[in-house]
Structure 1
Amino acid sequence: MKKFLMVLFLAGLLPAAIAAAESEASFSGSGRAILGISPDTKEITVIALTADDSAIQVEGCTVTELPSGEVTKLTATGNTIILKGAITELDCSDNRLTSLDVQGLSALDKLYCYNNRLTSLDMHGLTALRELSCSFNQLVSLNVQDSAGLEKLFCAENQLTAFDMRGLTVLQELNCSDNRLTSLDAHDSTFLRFLLCKSNQLTSLNVQGLTALVYLNCRSNRLTSLNVQGLTSLRALSCSENRLTALNIQETPALQKLSCYGNQLKVKALIRIFNSLRGTDLKKENAGEVLVQSEMDNSHEGNITDFSSSAELKTAFEAAKAKNWIFYKRDTNGNDKKI
């Protein structure tokens, strides 16, 4: 069983012994996390796990030890609480933390620090990290380049203006919604299955080559174009409330749910969409669904709403319904009703 490194205050300790102890600490992944405590919240709740279930040492608190894997309330005696040990998982969410330093936790596999007051989060050296949830903070930047093994990343509801996804080649789930991003390039993340980037300021979104992508939500952005060609696994696409004048879904054979209201899709664009909807594999009990228009004021509907305004459009609409697609519009109360 690995042991936490004990700082020895023995007179005459040889430098070689110190070096050996430091080497052992590095090998075991031992390190520390420093939690900045809000003046109005001295009591926090944390969960921390170690690889061997050994206890975590605590400083700046009324207790000196934290059991591995147990939900524990800690009462701070000052402005910081320090956790020491070979921590592999840490959950310090919902604590109003003002800062968090986890650079020393080289063995950290999962970090949950959502719903705090963090303005920065330094991820350097966290090479073992696979899951990060830091949503609902005040982060203005986030650098995860050292964490190339990330599989799940949730950083929604922050103040991010840019996010670099290069090198995140094994990422499977990303939620970066409700930030201030103007562009997002996800093409390196070829294992990505779920991408939520709604309610940003995106004018550019690159999802090319993401053949594993099942769900894409880029609603409420500023996109004038969206290329989803070749997304052969895509089942659900929400691109409503953008500035799209066209949408090519011909190479999305798995698509079953489409939300595209609040754009600038006119007659020719809708004809192309309706004609591209596939019905071959759609069983009656699993009909396809299209939310194509909205009557709500904040949706700024620019799509054509009268499908009988063109004979060709009416024919394409009826043909799509015959292929077992159900069309909806959102009324002024936010309820979806069949067209």
Structure 2
Amino acid sequence: MLTNEFTKLLNMEYPIIQAPMAGGITTSRLVAAVSNSGGLGMVGAGYMSPEQLRIQIREIRKLTSGLFGINLFVPNDFSVTEEEVRLAQKAMQPVREQLGLQENADAEIPVFPDVYQSFVEQVKVVIEEQVSVCSFTFGIPSEEVIGELKRSGIMLIGTATTVREAIELGKAGMDAIVVQGSEAGGHRGSFLQEDQESLVGLMSLIPQVVDNVNIPVIAAGGIMDGRGLMASLCLGAKAVQMGTAFLTCVESGAHNVYKKAILAAKEDETVLTRSFSGKWARGIKNKFINEMQIHESSLPDFPVQNILTQSMRKAASSQNNPDFMSLWSGQSPRLTKDQTAEALIHSIIAEAEKLISH
């Protein structure tokens, strides 16, 4: 039951994918450790420059001969006014003062990177470096991009939070779909419906997507152990994608304060917020989320708010201050452990095999 046509296609010993967490968490060591232990390691490349991505791909290749994948953010249109930036900066000024940061300059709109150009260049790197798997979050790439990647023999995986999104990803030519339940930590992958309508629990979502698409389904959201893996497979998924479980692993690049916060958190301490990035994401509730709650609806959309909070998050990290860090986490933090990626995978498989034999 633990191997199927999907795992065979990717030369995976086990149906376990390490979620591509952007922002430096998916280090070369973590990705390689997962691939070397029979799973599929993934690089969260959403915030990386094309050159940084190329360097990391080559680093990973020195550490593993196994397959691994890259995850990219599909760029979305966004607009922002000076007034929106000014109001957001004003709302965050007390936080900046608490961190000892200089006062904001009068609300000039920062220079935002050309997300479309960067995305095109990232895709080019994936093709040139002959990466085996490329997954996408926040939408569907253009027909041109999908065609180019397919011609290069790269497996494409989309991310859906509803059946409707999954159907559209299937029509667009994805080879597999990650279905992200509302339990999942980090950013929501929603792109067709409003965020509230997209908060479907994973155990409800898996069978409904399986019944409506004819490509492999990968389950994501709150899965931490062999029980979650077996439940997902029983509902029709071909593999699971796990983020928070790998985030607290030894090889993860997450800040130690962040790891400790997750290891100490309880299941009722995560909330959905758009205060950090302008896009809804699940994380551990902290002082920043509390203080920004009244401003949340008026904050600029992603990636604008993400850029506006960058210096604050960086300062909080360097000061070891969890009050103002984005502590993304799924809803099962009580099941996290401080261990190696290899130990995590072996314990999941041992538990799953025990359940099969009973």
TM-score between both structures, scaled by the size of structure 2? 0.20
Q: By percentage of residues, which structure has more helix?
A: 2
**Higher Cα radius of gyration:** 1
Q: By percentage of residues, which structure has more strand?
A: 1
TM-score between both structures, scaled by the size of structure 1? 0.21
Point out which structure has higher relative CO (alpha carbons under 8 A, 6+ apart): 2
